Structure 1
Amino acid sequence: MRRSVRRGLLAGAVVAALAATAVPAVSAMAAGSIAATFTASSDWGTGHEVAVKVVNGSDAAVANWSITFTLPASTSISSSWDADVTRSGNTYTAVKKSWAGSLAPGASVTWGYVGTGAFAAPTACTINGVSCGGGTTPPTTAPPTTVPPTTTPPTTPPPTTPPPNPGGKKVVGYFAEWGVYDRQYHVKNIDTSGSAAKLTHILYAFGNTTGGRCSVGETFPAYEKSYTADQSVNGQADTWDQPLRGSFNQLRQLKAKYPHLKVIYSFGGWTWSGGFTQAAQNPAAFAESCYNVVEDPRWADVFDGIDIDWEYPNACGLTCDSSGPNAYKNVIAALRAKFGPSALITSAITADGSNGGKIDATDYAGAINNLNWLMPMTYDYFGAFNAQGPTAPHSPLTAYNGIPTAGFNSDAAIQKLKAKGIPADKLLLGVGFYGRGWTGVTQAAPGGSATGPAPGKYEPGIDDYKVLKNSCPATGTVGGTAYAYCGGNWWSYDTPATMTGKMTYAKQQGLGGAFFWELSGDTTNGELITAVKNGLN
């Protein structure tokens, strides 16, 4: 199960991937001309990021622009955004995106790229056949010479953390689209908490599947929300004419700062899984629609693949599906055929390890060759959705005496999936950065009766670890996880200590790593993700 998607919550993003260490732009034009200025925003030795500002200094709108420039053999462009970039030898041509409008007199637009190797200034630069005129600005830690009074000066980013061992365990975290609303959790928080350096992959949740087609969940938080300088990853404010804003653009900035990070667009979830039933009737059409969303030219560089969170194929979640045991593997096969061999295709699945339960309802093993990995959601087993209890930990690692339902624990799910032939290194262990709780409880030990869900900050019966660690500290452990009893409320959640124990289990089982729901539940200094990362080392 998955915490329900609350519509009207998120928004996260930032500016087009530009300067993390901004500098004053050198005058880039003669009067009455169009010109371009290259600004190196960061340089970490093995790579660098550059923002290219195009300015229309004429008194007429410019419908199209094209920039041609040469880079030395020691560097090359590895990714770009907000311009179509082609290469011939060491010479590159950047052309205005087809969807971008004309450049009004006095207006500007910025596109950018990430290059390999140390920064080196481009040469022989022309725009629309004339000299670019503005040259380049090397990276610097000096602040801008002038800062508009309403603008927060960009700050110098810390040195980029070296990427995790590529052969090591995966650390995968969900970023909830709606978190930018009430929670005020933005992509920048992934950076400032230290989480970005510990993650290997981010799952952006969720895209919609209504009508058996993929679509963006909410356009405002995804790519329309404008960010101020202090809210953005790179320290620069979005502009009114910026083609891409929102969380998608913020993720672009985060990837530029942490080149090891991969981002996967997750579709479905508890609320939007109903569309998978229709998708299963025409998997090829579904895959085509998903590809068009994930690889939309406006943000194709942001996403490295797609995640399918179908709750649940040939079983019941918020809605029931009766597509048959082969529907899931057919959908996954169609996605692989469309996205190709290099894209990441992953899936969050049921963790019901009971006999004849949801794992047994679908041929997950038949899909595994087309998946990079599976993520059994080994949390939300128990909670105040059963208002009277009995109280039980929502994410037990193992069974224990008195557990309400046999097979409702992480180990049971992992063993069942392995027994079906799914390789251990293609399974990730699921953990929660939140707790579930009841009120009206009279006993501290698990198994007590209750009168309903305990109060939560955003919804009854659920709250973040960062809140619970202080409001109701853990008083015991059971089944490899923690529980807490305070003031008639009974909560279960993982602590850094129990999280470490779960990671030890993951290593002992030979699993591919761990994933968690979701980033905003952790402390501002990333206590839980630190325990996950260190526990998997």
Structure 2
Amino acid sequence: MRRITIGSFIAAAALLAPLGMNAATAATPATATYSTVSDWGSGFEGKVTVKAGTSALTSWKVEFDLPAGKSIPSAWDADLTKSGDHYTFVNKPWNGALAAGATVSFGFNGAPGGLTGVLNCKLNGAACNGTGPTTPPTVPPTVPPTVPPTVPPTVPPTVPPTVPPTVPPASGKKLVGYFTEWGVYARNYHVKNLVTSGSAAKLTHILYAFGNTAGGRCSIGDSYADYDKAYTADQSVDGVADTWDQPLRGNFNQLRKLKKAYPHIKVIWSFGGWTWSGGFTQAAANPAAFAESCYNLVEDPRWADVFDGIDVDWEYPNACGLTCDASGPNAFKNVISALRSRFGANALVTAATTADGSTGGKIDVADYAGAINNLDWLMPMTYDYFGAFNAQGPTAPHSPLTSYTGIPTAGFNSDAAIQKFKAKGIPASKLLLGIGFYGRGWTGVTQAAPGGTATGAAPGTYEAGNEDYKVLKTKCPATGTVGGTAYGFCNGQWWSYDTPSTIAGKMTYAKNQGLGGAFFWETSGDTANGELITAISNGLK
């Protein structure tokens, strides 16, 4: 790499002088630009993009006023403080340093909607539109004092090479969706629905849920749905009916046909889940034996070409879910290590994990960071934080992106989980943001705003207190937003769920955080035309 010295700068300035240019007039100041990402009337999502000028920035602070009557309760990718109508945003430790010409964005939710711009905007004390210096006047604009003369000014030494770029590339994001084996029954949802909805073209990976872990071994969850159910021509992905004597039918054969039609899709067999995580405790006692059983099942010659790897959905290592595990903080790491060793470097090994961002919570009791080198990615289940499992409330969104005033439990929000994982050393590019294609709701509610009391779970099609988005969008349309997600109040019921609009906001967050993409539970909750998957796909671009 060619070194640039002070002498080089002087020579360059001399060459420019005859053209009426010099270092002072050629310098470009830093700027900060506001834009409204989405507006739903009762609220809005805003974004500010900070762009370094000719000089690199070692830190940034954006401040502005809002018109009377508007407020910003929460922000991400910046620390927020406010005084009256004046708001100040300061960089996080990982996104303060910007190379010359580089950009970074931070976002926030506000209310009510209708904001067209901010007032009195300043970046590092100067006007956000770049009129006036953004560095002290004693500092030459072309020679940032933090950059030694022998270091090219476009590479600030304060940024370690392992820090991910503040503006990740738009391509390469993962869009991962769960397909449930039991969906073929009452829900009448089949692999072909991924084609007719237009979703197959948008998905990058499918998680097939679930295999069992009974006895510390991987085993079939539902043999009939998995590989025995016969499909008629109209139900089949390729329009060809199953025959009585073919060696493989069911979902596995339909997934094989899907992969043939959409070769970009990878399929991962997920084991465990809420109901079948009990076997992981015994698996942790002999990880090698568990891994061997899983490999033999996933790579069974009858369907080895269907699956591209294995997913562990352990709820929860060294903590309690449906059952309690006390295998110790190293158990998860040891199981993942054994799976990687048995499946090899070319298979996908992934994990769905707790998203408990509270201090001393479920993230803190297992060594997720110790396992990350053996995982392709990790999926914090950033949903089900609140629901009618607390029958009397208070009402609260089950999948808040950020905290908000009055949230029932500190740390129960997506951002808290993401930041905790990142603080433990897990790369942002190996974290996926979770989206629920369903809502959770209460009945006997008299208060439209969050925080109300209830008498129990609202009725649902398959489960009390739980309903698909495709039903809720018309049954109980969204009437407000809180913490970056939506809620609806109707006929004494209070439901929280994500909409295409709030998903757009969450995908903006995912991109600003440099996350590897997003995943969701689960495909049958979407509309017949796949509007939620479309929202994720568009939001990740």
TM-score by length of structure 2 reads 0.69
1:167, distance to aligned residue in structure 2 (A):
5.0
| Alignment match, 2:446 | 442
| Alignment match, 1:513 | 517
The CA distance in 1 between the partners of 2:295 and 2:188, in whole Å, is 30
The CA distance in 2 between the partners of 1:168 and 1:335, in whole Å, is 25
Does the Cα contact within 8 Å between 2:170 and 2:540 map onto a contact in 1? no
Alignment pair present for 1:289 and 2:277? no
| Alignment match, 1:209 | 213
Spell out, residue by residue over 1:241-263, the C-alpha distance to the aligned partner (whole angstroms, 9 max, x if none). 01000000000000000000000
| Alignment match, 2:536 | 532
The CA distance in 1 between the partners of 2:212 and 2:170, in whole Å, is 31
| Alignment match, 1:234 | 238
Percent identical among aligned pairs is 82
1:166, distance to aligned residue in structure 2 (A):
11
Does the Cα contact within 8 Å between 2:438 and 2:469 map onto a contact in 1? yes
| Alignment match, 1:4 | none
| Alignment match, 1:346 | 350
The CA distance in 1 between the partners of 2:405 and 2:426, in whole Å, is 29
> Match for 2:262 among 251, 258, 264?
258
Divergent runs of 4+, >3 A: none
| Alignment match, 1:357 | 361
Alignment pair present for 1:432 and 2:436? yes
Q: Residue type matched to 1:482 in 2? A: A
Within a 5 Å distance, the mapping from 1:467-482 to structure 2 comes to 467-482=471-486
Within a 5 Å distance, the mapping from 1:155-194 to structure 2 comes to 167-194=171-198
| Alignment match, 1:46 | none
The CA distance in 2 between the partners of 1:188 and 1:488, in whole Å, is 37
The CA distance in 2 between the partners of 1:167 and 1:390, in whole Å, is 40
Alignment pair present for 1:408 and 2:412? yes
Larger radius of gyration: 2
| Alignment match, 1:385 | 389
| Alignment match, 1:453 | 457
Spell out, residue by residue over 1:423-455, the C-alpha distance to the aligned partner (whole angstroms, 9 max, x if none). 000000001000000000000000000000001
Within a 5 Å distance, the mapping from 1:57-206 to structure 2 comes to 167-206=171-210
Question: Partner of 2:234: helix, strand, or coil?
Answer: helix
Question: Partner of 2:275: helix, strand, or coil?
Answer: helix
The CA distance in 2 between the partners of 1:397 and 1:167, in whole Å, is 23
> Match for 1:497 among 497, 501, 522?
501
Question: Partner of 1:470: helix, strand, or coil?
Answer: helix
Q: Residue type matched to 2:529 in 1? A: N
The CA distance in 2 between the partners of 1:225 and 1:530, in whole Å, is 30
> Match for 2:323 among 294, 319, 322?
319
Higher relative contact order (CA 8 A, sep 6+): 1
The CA distance in 2 between the partners of 1:229 and 1:416, in whole Å, is 49
Q: Residue type matched to 2:488 in 1? A: A
Unpaired segments ≥5 residues, structure 2: 1-168
Within a 5 Å distance, the mapping from 1:292-311 to structure 2 comes to 292-311=296-315
1:168, distance to aligned residue in structure 2 (A):
1.3
1:309, distance to aligned residue in structure 2 (A):
0.1
| Alignment match, 2:379 | 375
Calculate the aligned-residue CA RMSD, in Å. 0.9
1:267, distance to aligned residue in structure 2 (A):
0.1
TM-score by length of structure 1 reads 0.69
Within a 5 Å distance, the mapping from 1:22-41 to structure 2 comes to none
Q: Residue type matched to 2:337 in 1? A: A
The CA distance in 2 between the partners of 1:375 and 1:407, in whole Å, is 17
Q: Residue type matched to 1:190 in 2? A: L
The CA distance in 2 between the partners of 1:366 and 1:292, in whole Å, is 26
The CA distance in 2 between the partners of 1:344 and 1:472, in whole Å, is 39
Unpaired segments ≥5 residues, structure 1: 1-164
Q: Residue type matched to 2:513 in 1? A: Q
Alignment pair present for 1:487 and 2:491? yes
The CA distance in 2 between the partners of 1:177 and 1:384, in whole Å, is 25
The CA distance in 1 between the partners of 2:290 and 2:509, in whole Å, is 37
Spell out, residue by residue over 1:391-436, the C-alpha distance to the aligned partner (whole angstroms, 9 max, x if none). 0000000000000000000000000000000000000000100000
Spell out, residue by residue over 1:277-334, the C-alpha distance to the aligned partner (whole angstroms, 9 max, x if none). 0000000000000001100000000000000000000000000000000000000000
